[in-house]
Amino acid sequence: MAEDTDQILRAILTDVLGLAPGQAASFEADTGLFGHLPELDSMAVAGLLTEMEDRLGIMIDDDEIDGEMLETYGGLLGFAETKTREAKNAQA
């Protein structure tokens, strides 16, 4: 499950950032995102979060969005994994 979330998240970033196939595979936990990539502005982040909701089957409240979670790939993945686990538990 955790691996799936990782792959889905890399696929979403590939789509949002227009990366070449496979480029997102090189993302490490400390790869910088929001604040590091100029094209990732608030509009793009909104799109990214909406896409995460749709593809991971989660709901993200505005309160949950903070700079730390968006700053690195590891931060975003940790958040996504927690949310997918919660969503799965809520279903069970």
Partner 1 sequence: MKPLLWPCPASAGEPSREYALQFSASGCATLLIVPALFDEGNRMRRLTVEVQRRLADEHGIASVLPDLPGCNESLADLALQTPASWQRAMIACARQLGATHVLGVRGGSLVTPSGYPTLHYAPVTGASILRQMLRAHVLAAREAGREERREDVLDRARREGITLCGHNLGADFITAFEALEPAAEASILAQGTLGGSGLWLRAEPSDDPDQADALALAIAGWIEGEAA
Which stretches of the chain bind partner 1, using CB under 8 A? 14-18, 39-47, 49-51, 62, 65
Nearer to partner 1, 18 or 22 (CB): 18
Nearest residue (CB) to partner 1, 33 versus 77: 33
Specify the residue, 32 or 88, whose C-beta has the smaller distance to partner 1: 32
Q: Concatenated DSSP letters for 36-80? A: T-TT--HHHHHHHHHHHHHHHT----GGG--HHHHHBHHHHHHHH
Contact of 70 with 76, CB cutoff 8 Å? yes
Closest approach, Cβ 91 to partner 1, in A, equals 22
Closest contact distance (angstroms) between CB of 57 and partner 1 is 15
Cβ at position 20, least distance to partner 1 in Å? 12
Structure tokens at 34: 């929001």
- Partnered with residue 32 across adjacent β-strands are 72
